[in-house]
Chain A
């Protein structure tokens, strides 16, 4: 189980290989990675975060996922700093004996991370810079986990 917040890029394949290395109890390994998408004229995306709180919030979200599903392991990597379209922003990986838990936990981690981890995105392009606004759908996505 691990949470990492870093400026540098990561190797998704290497992270997944490390997660399952030396183990034979994992039957399902699910991963998601978020990329900088050029939604029209975006040249850079600046990711700001709250050092200290970020790591705590991610660890709390991960602990919640592990309490809900039988996970063999779990990894969250999130970058900050200046990124360009096509670059990796973050990844989550969940490992479990069976795929149901791995898929559900990965979705849960993403839903909570989007609205509960202190990251903010600012996009800049030819037409200037703007802070990405939170979507009502992001908050609504949390509701399905509250039962």
Chain B
């Protein structure tokens, strides 16, 4: 399946791009992270410490166990600091 992956804040800086289109058979967000991490050093650095990474699937906060079937967009970002 084809997915849009988006990055914000320091994840965007580490990956070096705000978004990318990926072709994947990953079943869950966690599987997708493993695939991205194996891609290159920039992705490996971005996903080095998953305790500092939050994830949204189709604009809803979720976690690494979330399934990807039918999903269009996955976003990775650090803990939020609004207000």
Residues in B neighbouring A114, C-beta threshold 8 A: 80-83
Instruction: Provide the bound-state CA to CA distance between A78 and B82, in Å.
Output: 9
Residues in B neighbouring A118, C-beta threshold 8 A: 8, 56, 75, 77, 80, 82
Instruction: Provide the bound-state CA to CA distance between A139 and B16, in Å.
Output: 29
Which residues of B46-83 are within 8 A (CB) of A? 56, 59-61, 75, 77-83
- The reply to whether the CB of B37 lies closer than 8 angstroms to some CB of chain A is no
* A side interface size, CB within 8 A: 27
Q: How many residue pairs bridge A and B at CB < 8 Å? A: 69
CB distance from A75 to the nearest CB of B (A): 15
State whether B83 touches A132 (Cβ < 8 A). no
Partner of B83, one of A49, A90, A122, A139: A90
State whether A113 touches B75 (Cβ < 8 A). no
State whether B83 touches A113 (Cβ < 8 A). yes
Instruction: Provide the bound-state CA to CA distance between A120 and B9, in Å.
Output: 6
CB distance from B6 to the nearest CB of A (A): 7
Chain A to chain B: the 9 pairs with minimum beta-carbon distance, closest first: A119-B82, A134-B79, A120-B9, A53-B59, A114-B83, A117-B82, A132-B81, A121-B81, A131-B10
State whether A120 touches B83 (Cβ < 8 A). no
Nearest B residue to A78 by beta-carbon distance? B82
Nearest B residue to A118 by beta-carbon distance? B80
Which residues of A98-134 are within 8 A (CB) of B? 110, 113-122, 131-134
Nearest B residue to A117 by beta-carbon distance? B82
- The reply to whether the CB of A145 lies closer than 8 angstroms to some CB of chain B is no
